[in-house]
A = this chain, B = another copy of it.
Amino acid sequence: MPHDDRCIGVFDSGIGGLTVVREMRRRLPNERIVYFGDTARVPYGIKSPKVVTLFSRQIVDFLLRFDPKMIVVACNTASAAALPELEKQFDLPLVGVVKPGAREAVRAANGRPIAVIATEATINSDAYRRAIHSLLPRVPVHQRACPLFVGAVEEGRDSDDRVVAALAEDYVAPLRGLDPAVLVLGCTHYPLLKTAIARAIGSEVLLVDSAEQTAETVHAELNARGALTASPAAGNLTCYVSDNPQRFREIGQRFLGHPVVDVTWVSLDELVVADAHAPA
């Protein structure tokens, strides 16, 4: 059997991408994963495509040191703003979170309207609407930015919190009147508020979680390339962050579903130097 025992690189603006890692580890328990969280520059969701692309390029260049067989852009904002540019610049398979989520939304909606909630930058990029319409033109797509959800999750709030309830009512309830069949959680933080979001949109609307769909895409792509690991040993997760490893460890546990053990701080200087050596 063809196989590839190299690691998979994963990155996010911060901690949210660990929801994707959690799903990847469920489906691919033997793979080694190297994760980078850009906690010194988080969040990306309020920043411009230009800056998000610059940061993403620096991170991919950093991850290349680990000789990955694939890199997963586990951040909706970076997938929406930077993935096409990264695909031009780097010569290895890259998987983002937007296309897998869009594909599942189209499948599940069965021609009925699709709603998308995400960060400001992801909504402004229009990436979800474009991905959905490339699969099924003219299906109605309603998009709504929910900026404070990320901060609420980072702060440790969950679906039972009254601030989260007020936010969900504010952001999500107005989408109800548009009668969507599906609501895409277009940000890796949102699955942690699933219950409050479901309450605000109504139980008849199906929630699509990009994390699950992305993990399935990673599995399918590696399989198609004959690049799954042949190792019988349990895989592992090594994390690098640009700031606050202790905070990452503490909050990361909620995203990953179990303790985040191996976290190393990388200075931004080192990232920027990596970028200077990158192909132009």
Contacts and interface: CB of A to CB of B under 8 A. Distances in A.
Contacts of A50: 243
Interface in A33-74: 39-42, 46-48, 50-51, 54
Contacts of A40: 41, 47, 51
Nearest to A167: B163
Interface in A139-155: 147-148, 151-152, 154-155
A140 to B, nearest CB: 26
A20 to B, nearest CB: 21
B244 A48 contact: yes
Oligomeric state, in number of copies?
Answer: 2
Chain A, interface SS category:
helix
Contact of A170 (B42, B46, B47, B163): B163
A112 interface: no
Contacts of A147: 151, 154-155
Nearest to A42: B46
Interface residues of A, number: 29
A198 interface: no
A135 interface: no
A272 interface: yes
A162 interface: yes
A243 B163 contact: no
Nearest to A147: B155
Contacts of A39: 47
A250 to B, nearest CB: 12
A247 B47 CA distance: 9
Nearest to A171: B163
Nearest to A146: B155
Contacts of A154: 46, 147
A162 B47 CA distance: 26
Interface in A85-130: none
A47 B39 CA distance: 8
Contacts of A169: 162
Contacts of A46: 42, 154, 244, 247
Contacts of A227: none
> Which 7 residue pairs across A and B have the least CB separation, nearest first?
A151-B151, A166-B166, A163-B166, A51-B243, A40-B51, A148-B151, A48-B244
Given A147-B151, A272-B272, 9 more contacts: A51-B242, A51-B244, A147-B154, A147-B155, A148-B151, A162-B169, A163-B167, A163-B170, A165-B166
